[in-house]
A and B are shown apart, each in its own frame.
Chain A
């Protein structure tokens, strides 16, 4: 034992040409791989930037532009982006080269990544540091860009990681937005620059015509009554139907059939908007009876909506009391009266108020196609370019809807 490390006393490797050549080749290989990765990342980011800015400029600003910023800012952004990407994530280039950052003890720490990021600038930009083995920034941070480390468990696929999903969602949203902007011919600039053209309306809207208040008030009452009638008659039909549309109450083959047919029919009725129902009923009961057609339209739609809401509440009731009341020897109706009804009364009233609130708003919309009430008056003024009168009517509608909204939410809060 000499006390020296092994090989210390043997001859140093001679500096022959093959040794030098191999060393150079190895270092060139490392530098080349690093450069290839950086190149891919920079080019990838640049392409992404150009795409986004081009689309934004064309559809958002209505002009052609490539970078939207001075060339030096573009270069700086792309290069810094690549540095951040390589230091703090798995960049495109690293993925292509099948390389990954890893520390001596496995996963890199945040501090090591920051050092790598700083070292990256010292190494990659002057290029010199890359020809060391390992390169400067790897020495500084203690990280190594090597083949992916085999970890105990299989790496999770991208669609199982939160960052992967986030990226996918971002890309999807970008694509959807790009398509959407095109097909709806969006032009944000016009939205802001052309607002002055509407000044005339707004002025008219905010200088109400008080001479039509009395007549409008009568129409308002008609509208309120349309909603009240539609809701009241819908409740009468929807409550019994809801029991037939609740899965937990409809057992057996016949029950299941009734349930399926009823739920299906209701969803079809509900999918046809009240405005369409209004047109159908206008033809049916004649235009002369316009408010009645409006009531029928709201009625039909409310039934479908309420049956669904009621039935879903019924399906959520606690089966415990049903068992308990059945166990006392009570008959079916008594079970319904004592175990089911107490659980649903308040939610039913609450849903009904909610629907009434919707019907008030819908009644004005239904009026626009000729279903009577304040909506019809509004439509009349709008088509006649009577802005001042239209403004008055809209003001009245806003007050009504706000008041009903407030009233119904207060009542529902009381019930909860």
Chain B
């Protein structure tokens, strides 16, 4: 039996300023092809957890094995090679506003492009074709040469997805991908993630605010509270008692349909 695809062991993150403990001794593992949803209140450590996996945030303690390699010990050069295989999309999309949609999508290839070509902005013909194909896939082929700041929120997030697709990722980290979007757009974005998961076999780790979205798209759910794991199981297992444990006594469940 092979090891799980992603293993997080005793992960702890303490932010130096103010000694804030974001993650406490967190351990779990993810199999290849899972759609794992991370839920929890704001400030429970969801974003930090996702960022520790591709080391946008340096973990304080603990290990993270990706395909059997401990990424917490990699040199920065080797970490970059690992990051190429990990796509990431963000709550605020984090596009380059002044660049076109295709310009943003092409940055997804930067990990595979030699530095001098990257600096001059000379992406290969193959990459350009791939960028157009990925924009086609997220339904934005006609917006390819529109500046990113001219796009709507849903369109911007789809550009973000196309950028992640350029990396041909094995793992996709989605940090509250739909929190800044309206319910209808949220579903369209989530469906692209689901499609990546099912058709391309990309393992997805998504943090979500709405439990209804988590139930609908996740194959498994973990819940964080104050940086600790309070739930790990199938979506159906979160009943009212569990819900109150995770979100506190006063919480009411809000549905997104």
| A residues lining the B interface (CB < 8 Å) | 318, 320-321, 323-331, 333-334, 337-339, 342-343, 345-346
Q: Is B134 an interface residue when CB atoms closer than 8 A count as contact?
A: no
B85 contact set on A, CB distance < 8 A: 329
**A330 touching B111 by the CB < 8 A rule?**
yes
Q: Which of the residues A327, A338, A346 comes within 8 Å of B83, measured between beta carbons?
A: A327
Closest 10 CB pairs of A and B: A329-B111, A330-B110, A329-B84, A320-B94, A324-B94, A329-B83, A327-B88, A334-B118, A342-B98, A329-B80
Q: Contacts A327-B83, A328-B163, A334-B115 hold; do A342 and B110 have CB atoms under 8 A apart?
A: no
From residue A130, how far is it (CB to closest CB) to chain B in Å?
62
Known: A328-B109, A329-B112. 11 other contacts (CB 8 A): A320-B93, A320-B94, A324-B107, A328-B83, A328-B84, A328-B166, A329-B167, A333-B115, A338-B96, A342-B99, A343-B98
Q: Which of the residues A320, A327, A337, A343 comes within 8 Å of B54, measured between beta carbons?
A: A327
- Could you list some 10 contacts between A and B, CB below 8 A? A320-B92, A326-B56, A327-B83, A328-B163, A329-B85, A329-B110, A331-B80, A331-B110, A333-B119, A346-B98
User: DSSP majority for the A interface?
Assistant: helix
B173 contact set on A, CB distance < 8 A: 327
Number of A-B contacts (CB under 8 A): 84
> Whole-angstrom distance between the alpha carbons of A321 and B99 in the complex?
12
B175 and chain A: residue at smallest CB distance:
A323
A338 contact set on B, CB distance < 8 A: 96, 107, 110, 118
Q: Contacts A321-B94, A321-B96 hold; do A327 and B86 have CB atoms under 8 A apart?
A: yes
Most-contacted residue by chain A among B92, B111, B121 (CB, 10 A): B111
> Whole-angstrom distance between the alpha carbons of A324 and B173 in the complex?
11
A334 contact set on B, CB distance < 8 A: 110, 113, 115, 118-119
B94 contact set on A, CB distance < 8 A: 318, 320-321, 323-324
A342 contact set on B, CB distance < 8 A: 96-99
> Whole-angstrom distance between the alpha carbons of A326 and B56 in the complex?
8
A321 contact set on B, CB distance < 8 A: 94-96
> Whole-angstrom distance between the alpha carbons of A372 and B111 in the complex?
53
From residue A364, how far is it (CB to closest CB) to chain B in Å?
37
A345 contact set on B, CB distance < 8 A: 98
Most-contacted residue by chain B among A320, A323, A327, A337 (CB, 10 A): A327
A318 contact set on B, CB distance < 8 A: 94
**A328 touching B90 by the CB < 8 A rule?**
no
Q: Contacts A328-B163, A330-B80, A338-B96 hold; do A323 and B118 have CB atoms under 8 A apart?
A: no
Q: Is B216 an interface residue when CB atoms closer than 8 A count as contact?
A: no
Q: Contacts A324-B90, A328-B84, A328-B111 hold; do A337 and B96 have CB atoms under 8 A apart?
A: no
> Whole-angstrom distance between the alpha carbons of A332 and B95 in the complex?
18
A327 contact set on B, CB distance < 8 A: 54, 56, 83, 86-88, 173
From residue A253, how far is it (CB to closest CB) to chain B in Å?
13
A329 contact set on B, CB distance < 8 A: 80-85, 110-112, 167
Within 8 A of A (CB), among B42-97: 51, 54, 56, 80-88, 90, 92-97
Q: Is B108 an interface residue when CB atoms closer than 8 A count as contact?
A: yes
> Whole-angstrom distance between the alpha carbons of A321 and B92 in the complex?
10
> Whole-angstrom distance between the alpha carbons of A342 and B103 in the complex?
12
> Whole-angstrom distance between the alpha carbons of A345 and B81 in the complex?
29
B119 contact set on A, CB distance < 8 A: 333-334, 337
> Whole-angstrom distance between the alpha carbons of A338 and B100 in the complex?
12
**B90 touching A320 by the CB < 8 A rule?**
yes
> Whole-angstrom distance between the alpha carbons of A325 and B81 in the complex?
13
B96 contact set on A, CB distance < 8 A: 321, 338-339, 342-343
B163 contact set on A, CB distance < 8 A: 324, 328
B117 and chain A: residue at smallest CB distance:
A334
From residue A269, how far is it (CB to closest CB) to chain B in Å?
32
B87 contact set on A, CB distance < 8 A: 327
Within 8 A of A (CB), among B103-130: 107-113, 115, 118-119, 121
B113 contact set on A, CB distance < 8 A: 334
Most-contacted residue by chain B among A329, A339, A342 (CB, 10 A): A329
A346 and chain B: residue at smallest CB distance:
B98
Most-contacted residue by chain B among A324, A337, A339, A345 (CB, 10 A): A324
> Whole-angstrom distance between the alpha carbons of A337 and B87 in the complex?
20
> Whole-angstrom distance between the alpha carbons of A36 and B190 in the complex?
79
> Whole-angstrom distance between the alpha carbons of A329 and B107 in the complex?
10
Most-contacted residue by chain A among B87, B110, B113, B121 (CB, 10 A): B110
A339 and chain B: residue at smallest CB distance:
B96
B97 contact set on A, CB distance < 8 A: 342
B51 contact set on A, CB distance < 8 A: 323
**A324 touching B99 by the CB < 8 A rule?**
no
A339 contact set on B, CB distance < 8 A: 96
B83 contact set on A, CB distance < 8 A: 326-329
Within 8 A of A (CB), among B137-180: 160, 163, 166-167, 173
> Whole-angstrom distance between the alpha carbons of A334 and B88 in the complex?
17
A320 contact set on B, CB distance < 8 A: 90, 92-94
B54 and chain A: residue at smallest CB distance:
A327
Q: Contacts A328-B167, A329-B83, A342-B99 hold; do A323 and B90 have CB atoms under 8 A apart?
A: yes
